[in-house]
Amino acid sequence: MATADDLKFQEFDDAANLLAANPDATTISIDEPVEIPKNQHSHLQEPGREEDDELLGTDDSDKTELLAGQKKSAPFWTFEYYQTFFDVDTYQVLDRIKGSVFPVPGKNFVRLYIRSNPDLYGPFWICATLVFTIAVSGNLSNFFIHLGKPTYHYVPEFRKVSIAATTIYAYAWLVPLALWGFLMWRNSKVMNIVSYSFLEIVCVYGYSLFIYIPTAILWIIPQKVVRWVLMVFSLCLSGSVLVMTFWPAVRDDNRRIAVATVATILLLHALLAVGCLAYFFDAPELDIPAPIIPAHNGTTVITKSH
């Protein structure tokens, strides 16, 4: 028999307060179907657009778009603002490095690994490691190449460290800046589905340089063929990461501009690799001026050694 109280109208608190009062109560939630923004483009889709879904990372791009707005709320003069750029765990950094060394064909590095959480740890320390690796490997390789020659005296060549640092940090920060400015300018003229923030571009460039670290160590081997094979191999790997990242951002544009942009990205990347190899590593087979041997019949014979 219901009491008079049970029949009276009761005000129910909202779910949060009720749940706080009774944490173990079972809950049922009914969600409204979420409007997925990219489906609004569906009636404009060409067959080639399916790969954009893969490249955009369909699963939680909505969530990340929402979360992205909530992340960097501290003003830029506080320390907490910069801490948001270092909000990565060890396994995340290792995952991103793995993604840059083994690029999955068709998968976009930014959408797959960065996911609106660009970090500055990776780019900064990968560049620092690369600077010292190139300087040390170059020094070691020159030492082994010239070892045994009577006129050779080992020098540490410390000045090259600052040159390496300037080059690599300039590449890793100025090229993304230029690329970001260019993409923003094109975005104002042509509506692009995909656009990247400056930090995401810095992130991609920084992680794509990782493959050069083992390459630089292997460049100690004083064989021209080996060095060029290594160079082409690492260029392909890191170049493919960059191409798969930036092709969706320019494909909507004028065909010529899109191809020119991607070609410039690859050209600058190749220039960096070739420049480092040429400047820091001496050529393996040098023709040293050989001693002049006076032959018995008075003529001198100059021998050339390989």
Partner 1 sequence: MRDLKAVGKKFVHVMYPKKSSALLRDWDLWGPLVLCVSLALMLQGGSADSKDDGGPQFAEVFVIIWFGAVVITLNSKLLGGTISFFQSLCVLGYCVMPLTVAMLVCRLVLLAGAGTVSFIIRLIVVGAMFGWSTLASTAFLADSQPPNRKALVVYPIFLFYFVISWMILTFTPQ
Binding site for partner 1 (CB under 8 A): 79, 82-83, 85-86, 88-91, 93, 121, 125, 128-129, 132, 136, 139, 153-159
CA angle at residue 194 from 258 to 199, to 5 degrees? 100
Q: Which is nearer to partner 1, 29 or 90 (CB)?
A: 90
> Min. distance of Cβ 124 from partner 1 in angstroms?
8
Least CB distance to partner 1 at residue 94 (A): 9
- What is the CA 29 to chain-centroid distance, rounded? 40
Amino acid at site 116: S
**Minimum gap (Å) between residue 245 Cβ and partner 1:** 24
Which is closer to partner 1, CB of 85 or CB of 281?
85
Per-residue b or e along 171-198, where b marks 16 or more CB atoms closer than 10 Å to that residue's CB: bbbebbeebbeebeebbeeeebebebeb
- CB nearer to partner 1: give 159 or 189: 159
- Return the closest-CA partner of residue 205 out of 235, 232, 242: 242
Q: Which is nearer to partner 1, 11 or 89 (CB)?
A: 89
Give least dist CB 208 to partner 1, A. 19
- Cβ at position 286, least distance to partner 1 in Å: 17
- Find the shortest distance in angstroms from Cβ 121 to partner 1: 6
CB of 130 to partner 1, least distance (A): 11
CA contacts within 13 A on the Cβ side of 60: 9
